[in-house]
Structure 1
């Protein structure tokens, strides 16, 4: 049994490492031990499955430190245990973040960077499993829980099966259908990243995008460019209107086409709704170059 659990754990860590490389986190430290700050909680060290850091594209002169915890199983989620298990996972990771802020690891890595005014210390839990039939979305299950660890940190992000698969499907489409384009994430401007030195696009996926329901890319090939937005939620006419508004803002200054991709879009079932929405937008140059696709069944839709 112990050998089986060890093998399952190693498989999970390998799956997550491949995922992290795919989203641009190529130099993630793994299996680090951080001296425990709260000796009553953990006597010696806090073990973490991964650690990465990057310059925050949404805030000038800011670095994001991300401590990673992998909770991988061969079995499906147990719905009745989701809240209690998540609280346990979050408490462990929160304590690791608390210890990290006082650690040599922080001083030797992100703490040594120059011209940095602030740090975000965040956690990322990969709570995934090998069950192929499980479609339980953990985020709504945890949406209303009241849980405060009392430990200061800048947020813990959760990746479940649904979001893990969503991100991979985005890259599958990019690699198979747009493999002659170079792809970049689009970093929103928000009033806090006005520094001209801050990139507006990049190869590193911000942690905010990892469990987001919308992921924006720009694809580039020579002088040609495509803005493509992937949506986790199914096609709805109302949501299409909102996403088109976002797409228009993101494509400002980008001369090329725009693609919005849903998991269930069907030209047969939805084309008329798309045409109605396009007619409501008083921008023919934009709508003429706007396409809607399905990232699950690209060929049949």
Structure 2
């Protein structure tokens, strides 16, 4: 049993490390043990599976300090909503205690002080919750939760990456990498009240706000012009496509002439007429918009 648990834990950490790299979070620290300084925790040390610092490209003056915990349920998530919530609460409380003691750890503070941090520092947790049940490999547990950013009543926001979200991130990025478009960057849009810096609005790091969203925007060069590709964790419908077209045109901000929109289940034959009707309604657009399904099949040839 102990050996199986160890293997499951190692597999979870391997999956987390590879997904972090896909997101551009490459220079992370791993396996940092910090002393526990709160008797209520009833521990001698806490283990940070991963630790990462980056200057958030969506904010002028913010540095994100991220404490990452990995869990892997080899037989699948607990059955039912209550079982899932109970287990999740346990994982969140554990991560909360890790952050509490890590913030006063000399090793963690040395890493923070050696980083070129901005004026404001944000500490938050990220929980990767994997499982190994092939029958429900990309099960989405968001339906059991109030929001993707989960506040467990503590001082720190904690973000959940479940199998469904991890699958979406992996599918989107690997799909684009397999294309012939070459070098790419994540695009950093103006999101609500977020103040975007005067730096380039694209780069190699996927910020937490986009990791937690259902949209991954990618900027690349098509010919000699910049182009935009939006991957959406959504099923095709006319209403969804209208919203995504509006969003893409807003993101593009007149700098792009080619927009690609990827959906989970767009059918190039069955959905073509509805797609054409939506695109026709954006008659004043200058950009060319193409729609595709990033869950690949031979039907993709219909959109070539």
TM-score (ref. length: structure 2): 0.90
Please say if residues 182 and 221 of structure 1, whose CA atoms lie closer than 8 Å, have aligned partners that are also in contact.
Answer: no
Task: Please report how far the alpha carbon of residue 226 of structure 1 lies from its aligned counterpart in structure 2 after TM superposition.
Answer: 2.1
Where do 1:52-131 residues align within 5 Å?
52-80=52-80, 81-114=83-116, 116-131=118-133
* Structure 2 equivalent of residue 293 of structure 1: 292
Where do 1:175-214 residues align within 5 Å?
175-178=177-180, 180-190=181-191, 191-196=193-198, 198-214=199-215
Measured in 2, the distance between the counterparts of 1:298 and 1:87 equals: 39
Q: Secondary structure at the match of 2:39?
A: coil
Measured in 2, the distance between the counterparts of 1:35 and 1:208 equals: 30
Task: Please report how far the alpha carbon of residue 181 of structure 1 lies from its aligned counterpart in structure 2 after TM superposition.
Answer: 1.9
Where do 1:175-254 residues align within 5 Å?
175-178=177-180, 180-190=181-191, 191-196=193-198, 198-220=199-221, 223-254=224-255
Please say if residues 219 and 226 of structure 1, whose CA atoms lie closer than 8 Å, have aligned partners that are also in contact.
Answer: yes
Please say if residues 48 and 98 of structure 2, whose CA atoms lie closer than 8 Å, have aligned partners that are also in contact.
Answer: yes
CA separation of 1:221 and 1:291: change in aligned 2, threshold 3 A: closer
Q: Deviations over 1:148-176 (max 9, x none)?
A: 644211x1111111111111111221121
Measured in 2, the distance between the counterparts of 1:164 and 1:5 equals: 22
Q: How many residues align?
A: 295
Q: Deviations over 1:185-243 (max 9, x none)?
A: 111224543431x3311101112222321111111256233211111110111111111
Structure 1 range deviating more: 90-99 or 180-189 = 180-189
4+ runs of 1 displaced by more than 6 Å?
A: none
Q: Secondary structure at the match of 2:6?
A: helix
Measured in 2, the distance between the counterparts of 1:228 and 1:144 equals: 26
Q: Secondary structure at the match of 1:133?
A: helix
* Structure 2 equivalent of residue 6 of structure 1: 6
Please say if residues 184 and 219 of structure 2, whose CA atoms lie closer than 8 Å, have aligned partners that are also in contact.
Answer: yes
Measured in 1, the distance between the counterparts of 2:269 and 2:147 equals: 38
* Structure 1 equivalent of residue 38 of structure 2: 38
Task: Please report how far the alpha carbon of residue 298 of structure 1 lies from its aligned counterpart in structure 2 after TM superposition.
Answer: 4.6
Unaligned runs of 5+ in 2: none
Task: Please report how far the alpha carbon of residue 121 of structure 1 lies from its aligned counterpart in structure 2 after TM superposition.
Answer: 0.8
* Structure 1 equivalent of residue 15 of structure 2: 15
Where do 1:249-264 residues align within 5 Å?
249-264=250-265
Structure 1 range deviating more: 266-275 or 219-228 = 219-228
Measured in 1, the distance between the counterparts of 2:22 and 2:39 equals: 37
Select which of 124, 139, 142 maps to 2:142.
139
Unaligned runs of 5+ in 1: none
Measured in 2, the distance between the counterparts of 1:264 and 1:26 equals: 31
